[in-house]
Structure formats: C-alpha cells, structure tokens
Amino acid sequence: MALDRFGRSISYLRISLTDHCNLRCVYCMPEDMSFQPNEALMQDDEILLFVRLFAQLGFHKFRLTGGEPTVRANLVELVRAITGTPGVRSLTMTTNGILLSRLAQPLAEAGMSRVNISLDTLDPQKFRRLTRWGKLEDVWEGIQAAEEAGLTPVKINAVVVQGYNESDVVDVARLTQDHPWQVRFIEMMPFAGATGLQTNQMVTTGTMQDIIINTFGDLELVNGGKLDGEARLYRLPDGKGELGFISSVTQPFCASCTRARLTADGRLRLCLLREGEVDLLTPLREGATIKELRQLVLDGIWEK
C-alpha cells in the first residue's frame, strides 16, 4: 500500500498519455502551444511497466488523460494491455470526445469502464470560441457512441468561464433531466499565466448553483453531501441524472485526495497545484531496477 505522511492511502493514478491535443481550449493552453517531441514521452512498454509497478503498490483505479488521450496511436491496444494487468480494477478516460464516435466501441471491448467527456456549452459557436478548433457535433456523436458502447454512466465535465459560458450552465444542467448522465461543473483553476485568462474569470460553484436554482428551483442533495471523488452531487427536481460541482478553488478537497498523476514524460506528480514532481522515466531509461523505481514512487507519495 502507498501511504502519504497524512495517512492517506494513495490508490488512484491518472496517466497522461500525451501532452498533444486536437483542441486548444482557452482555459487550458495557448493557441500556439508547443509540445514535447515523441521520444520525450513514455512509450507503450514504459507505460505498461509503470502500470504494473503502481498496481503492485496497491493502486487499482487508473484513468487515462492528457492532453487528449485519444490522439495517441495504438490507444486501444494500450487499453487492452492495461486492463489485463493484475491488480487493475478499473480504467477510465477523460477525453474531449472529438474522436470518440469511432473509438468508443473498441475501447469498451478492450476493457475500459467509462469515460468523462468535456463539454462546456451546447451552443456550437460558443463551443468553437471556447475550444478554438472544436465542432460541437463531433462531441455530441462521441457521447452517443459512449452510451451505446456501455461506457456508462457517462460523465460530462464542464468548465465555466466568465465571459464565455456562464449562462450556458442552465442548458448543460438540463441534460440531466432526460439523460442518466452526471454533469460535473468545474471551477476553472488559475492557470492564468499559461492561458491569458484572468483569475477573476473563474466562476464559483456558488454562482453556478445560484444560476441553476433560479431556473429549476432547489436542488436535491445526493449521498447526504458526501463527496463522490472530487464532486459534490445534486439532482434537479425529477432529474434522471446527477449534477456534480467540483470546487477545486473555493472548497479544495485535499483531505480526501487519494490520487497521483503520471505526466506524459513520466514524472510522478502528487498535486496539480504544486510544483513538486518525481522523474521516473529518466531513471528507468538509465537502467534503474524495479526495486529502485518502487522506492522512488513510495518516497514521492510519502511527500504528497
């Protein structure tokens, strides 16, 4: 078991498969973003070695992310190998959904459990403005394909940005009236330096809830308010699905955080909002033994 010094048992690993992306969301990266060369990124056999290592340390929940994980070549084969690794109980993915319409079925067949799909607005023009390059229709088809393939329950991630989509929370929330989906509204994290957005463009959970309650009436608290991962869940009156709020900025959920991240270039990152990282890929390429790598991971997690 991998424990940190606060006694949290860390068992959830998010693996970034690539830093590349086929979109350029305004809150995530600049339009002229430059990416790392392929050889700097973990290769398939290196990812699989790390998955085995983390699974042996008691990690059982894995998530693929990015950048955009679906732009990685060989994704379906990689998923099959990860889900076949002893100790891996669930593999999920966070994706922008653009390429999901053709990948959902093969990914489900390869053992993927579910997907989170990012969708910040239902307005095609605003979607284009937020993602710079995206076509809303592609994401919508991706969501349908995920449902048909059984990658359920589908979770939708919506980041809300002042001046872009704050009034759209109503339409996005309405999706849960007719669909058994979980729509999760996310407070924008202040990566302002990298994106050019201002910190004051962050819309708080409180503001989003006020907008939603003004339209639909009071929300019903789900699970007595207990966090589901990082989200607190509610339901619209007569809603089939759930609304989640991820208040990373106004109500950080650090105390219950059991996750670690592996960056696309093989660094173990213990917190999204802290700089500290442990490079695992360089030692692996320089011939470190599994025992040495395991110790690097355990020491890193202790410092989480």
Name the binder of 4 from ligand SF4, ligand SAM, none, CB < 5-8 A by kind.
Answer: none
Two tokens at 33?
Answer: 């973003």
Name the binder of 165 from ligand SAM, ligand SF4, none, CB < 5-8 A by kind.
Answer: none
Nearest residue (CB) to ligand SAM, 22 versus 43 = 22
CB 211 within 8 A of CB 169: yes
Q: How far apart are CA 209 and CA 177, in angstroms?
A: 16
Q: Which stretch binds ligand SF4 (CB under 6 A): 16-24, 232-240, 254-262, 268-276?
A: 16-24
Name the binder of 29 from ligand SF4, ligand SAM, none, CB < 5-8 A by kind.
Answer: ligand SF4
Nearest residue (CB) to ligand SF4, 96 versus 182 = 96
Count the residues of the shown chain that bind ligand SAM, applying the rule CB under 6 A. Answer: 16
Q: What angle do CA 26, 63, 202 make, to 5 degrees?
A: 30
Say how far residue 173 (Cα) sits from the centre of its chain. Answer: 19
* φ/ψ of residue 38, rounded to 5: -55, -40
Angle between helices 290-302 and 44-56 (to 10 degrees): 60
Q: Is 113 in the site for ligand SAM (CB under 6 A)?
A: no
Peptide bond into 190 cis (omega under 30): no
CB 36 within 8 A of CB 70: no
Q: How far apart are CA 152 and CA 147, in angstroms?
A: 6
Peptide bond into 266 cis (omega under 30): no
Nearest distance, CB of residue 290 and ligand SAM, angstroms = 29
Torsion sign over Cα 195, 199, 204, 207: negative
Name the binder of 188 from ligand SF4, ligand SAM, none, CB < 5-8 A by kind.
Answer: ligand SAM
Q: Is 94 in the site for ligand SAM (CB under 6 A)?
A: yes
Nearest residue (CB) to ligand SF4, 59 versus 164 = 164
Nearest distance, CB of residue 93 and ligand SAM, angstroms = 8
| Tokens 């990416």, located at residue | 35
Binding to ligand SAM in span 62-81, by CB under 6 A? 65-66, 68
Q: How far apart are CA 187 and CA 198, in angstroms?
A: 13
Nearest residue (CB) to ligand SF4, 21 versus 100 = 21
Draw the binding track, 92-121, toward ligand SF4 (x: CB under 6 A; -: no contact): ----x---------------------x---
CB 152 within 8 A of CB 189: no
Binding to ligand SAM in span 170-229, by CB under 6 A? 186, 188-189, 191
Q: How far apart are CA 189 and CA 163, in angstroms?
A: 16
Nearest distance, CB of residue 168 and ligand SAM, angstroms = 14
Draw the binding track, 27-56, toward ligand SF4 (x: CB under 6 A; -: no contact): -xx---------------------------
Two tokens at 49?
Answer: 């070695």
Two tokens at 175?
Answer: 């999706």
Positions in the binding site for ligand SF4 (CB under 6 A)? 21, 23-25, 28-29, 66-68, 96, 118
Positions in the binding site for ligand SAM (CB under 6 A)? 21, 27-28, 65-66, 68, 94-96, 118, 157, 159, 186, 188-189, 191
